[in-house]
Amino acid sequence: MTDAVIPQPADADPTGADSLRGHACIQAHLRTLDNAPGVYRMLDDKGAVLYVGKARNLKKRVASYAKPAGHTPRIARMIAATASMMFLTTRTETEALLLEQNLIKQLKPRYNVLLRDDKSFPNILVSQQHEFAQIKKHRGAKTEKGEYFGPFASAGAVNRTLNQLQKVFLLRNCSDATFAARTRPCLLFQIARCSAPCVGRISAEDYAALVGDATKFLTGKSTKIQADLAARMAEASAALEFERAAALRDRIRALTQVQSVQGVNPHGVPEADVVALHSEGGQACVQVFFIRGNQNWGNHAYFPRTGSGAEPEEILESFLGQFYDSHEPPRMVLLSGEIENPDLMQAALSARLGRKVELLVPKRGEKAELVENAHRNAREALGRRLAETTAQARLLDGLAEAFALEATPQRIEVYDNSHIQGTNAVGGMIVAGPEGFVKSAYRKFNIKSDDLTPGDDFGMMKEVLLRRFKRLLKEDPDRTGGLWPDLLLIDGGAGQVSAVAGILAELGIADMPFIGVAKGVDRDAGKEEFHRPGQRPFALRHNDPVLYFIQRLRDEAHRFAIGAHRQKRAKAVGATPLDDVPGVGAARKRALLAHFGSAKAVARAGLADLKSVDGISDTIAETVYAFFHDRG
């Protein structure tokens, strides 16, 4: 699509529209437009993008904005703020739709509906890279050979399913390296969760049959599997093989338990995403239920930004475009309501999948029941969200009053460090706002300064803040992008506050409000002292809700920083000199360690020995040998 996009020169203004505002500005741009499909952008007087839209006919679409009346309050505000426009033409309207959604995700315009939580979903992978297939959780690109089943709504849903699958099908979940190193069955065999193929307790043929049964179950053929297991149990019992019959009975019970905890399992819908929207009070919730193999694989709630009051049809269409930009669509998508361009969206999703995708708004039957269930969940989730938001707003107002802030903070950043005697030091930043913790905005900072004294918390904090705010100054110097905090909370007392004041002054942002939170003389929760530049420390009353709120913020920052430190420490413990060898990635590292037993043995190995390792080419063997023997 890139070669089909023809950008209008940004520095040219043949219309003279740059000196105009609102309807007049839009009217002036009409003279240069034709009837091609494409994407348009509306910008304010500072160049910030207000809105991104698509059009089958750019001239007609933009002309609708040039009319002085007939607009919703949201569109009227957007038109009044428009100081310039940009245009991109495309070959088709479908390309315009795809480009529009990409630009919305990149630019995050104020008046567009924006999907803010766009995480990836886990799958179950039945790996086929080994004679005895491994079953495991997988997230990310599907590069490993095997069969993928998903998406599942959460890691918890995957883990629960894997746990039950182990009981039913006895498939291994250990890595290939662990499998190769076993000399006797592990604990999973003892508790009837694995058939122990690693030590020959099951033949390759019988194990392959278990893998086939697991695949059938994940594709919705569990009834046939249950009937087969029952028949085999009867045969074993008739042959007086009571131990085998009991094992088959236990597998049938486990399979029944899996089916009972999955909830709604539609018989007539083998594969679909159920997408339901509920909007209220200027906010919206979209619930997505994943149906695969006639089984419910969980649901996830999204709370998109509604673009200052967009209509439900626009919210739902924008959600679909942005959601399936990064997720593979199923063959059927069931919707709770109509969207603005169903045919266009169906064509775009079909192109994304490479086969036909149906978009349906069911009115009766099982499909309608699925949609109603999803809509009820969306309504309840939004109700909880609105209640939490109201309580959070009161706490933010109380925080502004307690610390005499000029306005209620909309973005609070809290910083903390974690280390053990200066080693594996990590700085953590968490973010909170009107909707609670904004976990997608959390950041960790690996402390890089070599000249820091071990345990120098002041130096660590300085590095973190310098890196954070230098980046903000570069990316959003005008503070218009919503990335700047309204308040900083620092873990520490007068010394930390003085150091932070100096850092911010050095960066030229001395107007940034910040507070140091110290635990007080007894270091007890509830006796915190609060420090501000040039003012005496003070405390809040013991039962003040604002105090509890600050404690939660500090504790969350502490939890996040400790978690990041532990991850870094664990990675360092597992590190070997092989990590630094050019061309040796995870797979080659595993092959070398499996062959030689340790990194030290690899370092001592001769060139001929290195060349004899499976998966290690002569070139890589020479690279490894040179790395360990040419370092002086």
602: domain CATH number is 1.10.150.20
Query: Across-strand partners of 411?
Result: none
Question: For position 524, what pLDDT does the model report?
Answer: 56
Q: What is the pLDDT of residue 272?
A: 94
My answer on whether 420 and 552 are in the same domain is yes
Same domain, 464 and 539: yes
Q: Which of 59, 76, 107 is the last residue of a domain?
A: 107
User: Which among 261, 293, 322 is the end of a domain?
Assistant: 261
What distance lies between CA 74 and its chain's CA centroid?
Answer: 30
The yes-or-no verdict on residue 567 having pLDDT over 60 is yes
Contacts of 203 (CB under 8 A, 6+ apart): none
Give pLDDT, residue 522: 56
Residue 489, pLDDT > 60, answer: yes
Q: What is the pLDDT of residues 386-419, one digit of tens each?
A: 888 888 999 999 999 999 999 999 999 999 888 6
């049964």: which residue's tokens? Answer: 213
Q: What is the mean pLDDT of residues 139-155?
A: 86
pLDDT at 455: 61
The percent of residues above 90 in pLDDT, for the chain, comes to 36
**Same-domain check for residues 224 and 311:** no
**Cβ pair 589, 576 in contact under 8 A:** yes
Q: Which residues pair with 420 in a beta bridge?
A: 423
Confidence class of residue 103 from pLDDT cuts 50, 70 and 90?
very high
Question: Is residue 589 a part of any domain in this protein?
Answer: yes
State percent of the chain over pLDDT 70.
89
The answer to whether residue 565 scores a pLDDT higher than 80 is no
Q: Are 295 and 264 in contact (CB under 8 A)?
A: no
Residue 372 has pLDDT above 80, yes or no: yes
Measure the CA–CA gap between 74 and 66, rounded to whole angstroms.
15
Q: How confident is the model at residue 5 (pLDDT cuts 50, 70, 90)?
A: very low
Report whether pLDDT(33) > 80.
yes
Residue 12 lies in a domain: yes
Whether 158 and 124 have beta carbons less than 8 Å apart is answered as yes
Domain co-membership, 76 together with 160: no
Nearby residues of 10 by Cβ (< 8 Å), 6 or more positions away: 86
User: The domain spanning residue 36 has which CATH number?
Assistant: 3.40.1440.10
- Please choose, from the candidates 494, 493, 503, 431, the residue with its C-alpha nearest in 3D space to the C-alpha of residue 460: 503
Residue 421 maps to a domain: yes
Least confident among 206-215, 542-551, 577-586: 577-586
For residue range 223-236, what is the model confidence (pLDDT) as tens digits? Answer: 667 777 788 788 88
Same domain, yes or no, for 237 and 338? no
Cα(55)–Cα(35) distance, integer angstroms: 9
Domain harbouring 566, CATH code: 3.30.420.340
Is 90 exceeded by the pLDDT of residue 359? yes
Higher pLDDT, 619 or 281: 619
pLDDT for position 370: 94
14, 61: one domain = yes
- Hey, how many other C-beta atoms are within 10 angstroms of the C-beta on 129? 10
Beta carbons of 554 and 414 less than 8 angstroms apart: yes
pLDDT tens digits, one per residue of 64-91: 998 888 888 889 999 999 999 999 999 9
The answer to whether residues 331 and 357 touch, using CB atoms and an 8 Å cutoff, is yes
pLDDT over threshold 60, residue 573: no
Q: Are residues 129 and 28 in the same domain?
A: no
Burial class (CB in 10 A: 0-12, 13-18, 19+), 232: middle
The 3-state DSSP class for residue 537 equals coil
Residue 629 in tokens: 């023997």
The pLDDT tens digits of the residues spanning 413-440 come to: 999 888 665 566 888 999 999 888 988 8
Angstrom distance (rounded) from CA 199 to CA 201 = 6
Q: Say if CB 271 and CB 353 are below 8 A apart.
A: no
Q: Based on the domain organization, do 18 and 91 belong to the same domain? A: yes
Within-domain flag for 451: yes
Query: Is residue 517 classed as helix, strand or coil in its secondary structure?
Result: strand
> Which stretch of 6-20, 48-62, 289-303 has the lowest confidence by average pLDDT?
6-20
Range of lowest pLDDT (91-100, 110-119, 205-214, 517-526): 517-526
Token output for 138: 């997988």
Report the helix count and the strand count for the chain, using DSSP H and E: 20, 19
Kindly indicate the confidence band of residue 271, based on its pLDDT and cuts at 50, 70 and 90.
very high
Q: Across the strands, what pairs with 277?
A: 286
Look up residue 630 and give its two tokens: 């040419």
Torsional sign, CA 97, 368, 291, 360: negative
Residues 364 and 301 in one domain: yes
Measure the CA–CA gap between 577 and 443, rounded to whole angstroms. 28
Cis peptide before 270 (omega within 30 of 0): no
Tell whether 213 is covered by a domain.
yes
Residue 478 lies in a domain: yes
**Hey, which residues does 289 pair with through a beta bridge?**
274, 299
Average pLDDT, the chain: 85
Number of domains in the chain: 5
For β-strands 412-420 and 487-491, DSSP reports them as parallel
**540 in helix, strand or coil?**
coil
Q: Specify if 388 maps to a domain.
A: no
Distance of CA 90 to the CA centre of its chain: 30
538-547 long-range Cβ contacts below 8 angstroms, 24+ apart? 540/402, 544/398, 544/402, 545/394, 545/395, 545/398, 546/395, 546/398, 546/399, 546/402
Question: Which residue in 37, 1, 45 sits closest to 19, CA to CA?
Answer: 45
| 417 and 566 fall within a common domain | yes
Q: In this predicted model, which residue has the larger pLDDT, 543 or 338?
A: 338
Q: Both 511 and 602 in a single domain?
A: no
> By residue range, what is the domain housing residue 612?
577-629
Per DSSP, the residues of 404-422 read T-SS--S-EEEEEEEEETT
277 phi, psi to nearest 5 deg: -115, 135
Instruction: Give the end of a domain, one of 232, 261, 290.
Output: 261
Q: Is-contact 96 54, C-beta < 8 A?
A: yes
Please give the pLDDT value at position 223. Answer: 62
Confidence of residue 7 (pLDDT cuts 50, 70, 90): very low
**Which amino acid appears at position 14 of this protein?**
P
- What does the block give as tokens for 116? 């803010």
Mean local confidence (pLDDT), 178-196: 88
Tokens of residue 544, six digits: 């003040």
Residue 594 belongs to some domain of the structure: yes
Distance CA 104, CA 309 (A): 16
pLDDT tens digits for range 234-263: 888 888 878 778 877 777 776 666 555 444
Q: Name the DSSP class of 516.
A: E
Same structural domain, 83 and 152 = no
> Is the pLDDT assigned to residue 107 strictly greater than 70?
yes
Quick one: pLDDT at residue 526? 61
Exposed, middle or buried, 139 (CB in 10 Å: 0-12/13-18/19+)? middle
**Residue 500 near residue 514, CB atoms below 8 Å:** yes
Higher pLDDT, 165 or 392: 392
Among 318, 338, 320, residue whose Cα is nearest residue 329: 320
pLDDT tens digits for range 449-478: 666 666 667 778 888 899 999 999 988 888
Q: Are strands 146-149 and 123-127 parallel, antiparallel or unpaired?
A: antiparallel
For position 263, what pLDDT does the model report?
47
pLDDT tens, residue by residue, 337-352: 999 999 999 999 999 8
